[in-house]
Amino acid sequence: MNNGIRIQNVVKEFAGHTVLNGIGIHVEAGELFGLLGPSGAGKTTLIKILTGQIVQTEGWAELLGTDTRKLTDREYSRIGMMLDNTGLYERLNCYDNLALFARIYGLSKEKPEEALKKVGLWEAKKKPVHKLSKGMKQRLVLARAMLNEPDILFLDEPTSGLDPACAREIHSLIQNQRKKGTTVFLTTHNMEEAEKLCDHIALLCEGRVVEYGNPKELCRKYNHQNKICLLLKSGERILLENNSDGAKKVYSCLKEGIVETIHSTEPNLETVFMELTGRSFE
């Protein structure tokens, strides 16, 4: 069964303005893929095309082996979505929110309970949504997205606005889905999040994919300096060439016991993005 995503030369225009320009991406089944870009880059627009909410101007996109312009209930029953608009019913409690969607999906009565326990909200099952913290709301939205045990899970900025502790909880839940074989399509402007979670990423800027690959491999690819940085206990920083002479100096400093930290100079994803586009990620 095809649980992957294929996108070829997708273009989307709104009132003469090109939001996506020639996008081509292939996401393998079971992969955790990240689409990275600043606000306005076109990330949410691409998700809406992939999930059949809007139609591309040009090009072709396939989800679960089906043209995204022809998705049916059969495909939608295999998709989970956590989008920027939560869609939760504020006056209903956590359990009733999930029970409503379980009925829509035709799922068993046990599914809401299973989903709430999975995201750590079972104790808050009777709590109205309007009384939940932002982190709890995000977990509830993720529980709803996972309610039907989807083959593909779309996550649009799942940790936006969350504190680090809440973000780590969401990351753990996402990684658990990945381990179960779910294909995860993640959009984010959080570079650290992408480096931590994703098998492959695409960097999106002004509607174009400017680079694609494994996060760590991309950072190594753009490591033009290729140096070793030593921070000594005295506070002094030493930048060494990554060669035999540099290795001797590192050995000497380690032998003297004066090294606080050692780092290589490969850039992070944000630095790579800035090099490719000439702009920051904010």
Radius of gyration of the chain from its Cα atoms, rounded to whole angstroms:
22
> Six-digit token pair at 9?
């030369």
Angle at which helices 134-146 and 110-118 pack, to 10 degrees?
Answer: 130
Burial class of 159 by CB neighbour count within 10 A (0 to 12, 13 to 18, 19+): buried
- Alpha-carbon distance 141 to 132, whole Å? 12
In which residue are the tokens 């627009």 written? 45
Strands of 66-67's sheet in order across: 17-27, 5-14, 58-63, 66-67
Predicted confidence pLDDT, tens digits, the chain (282 residues): 578 999 999 999 998 899 999 999 999 999 999 999 888 889 999 999 999 999 999 999 999 999 999 999 999 999 999 986 678 999 999 999 999 999 988 999 999 999 999 999 999 999 999 999 988 999 999 999 999 999 999 998 888 888 888 889 889 999 999 999 999 999 988 888 999 999 999 999 999 999 999 999 998 898 887 788 888 999 998 888 888 888 898 989 999 999 999 988 778 888 888 888 877 766
275, 267 in Cβ contact below 8 A? Answer: yes
Structure tokens at 124: 């808050």
Which residue has tokens 């001797």?
248
Q: Note the Cα 92 to chain centre separation in Å.
A: 29
Give bridge partners of residue 62 from the DSSP assignment: 6, 67
Q: What is the pLDDT of residue 281?
A: 67
Q: Which residues pair with 13 in a beta bridge?
A: 18
pLDDT at residue 140 in the model: 94
Which pLDDT belongs to residue 25?
A: 95
Residue carrying the six token digits 């997708």: 10
pLDDT at 79: 94
Asked if residue 171 lies in contact with residue 8, where contact means CB atoms within 8 angstroms, the answer is: no
Which pLDDT belongs to residue 271?
85
**Backbone phi and psi for residue 3, each to the nearest 5 degrees, phi listed first:** -110, 20
Query: Hey, which residues does 67 pair with through a beta bridge?
Result: 62
For residues 59 and 36, the answer to whether their CB atoms sit within 8 Å is: no
pLDDT for the residue 80: 93
Give me the pLDDT at residue 246, please. Answer: 85
Segment (H or E) for 24 = strand 17-27
Taking the CB of residue 267, how many other CB atoms lie within 10 A of it?
Answer: 18
Identify the pLDDT of residue 136. 92
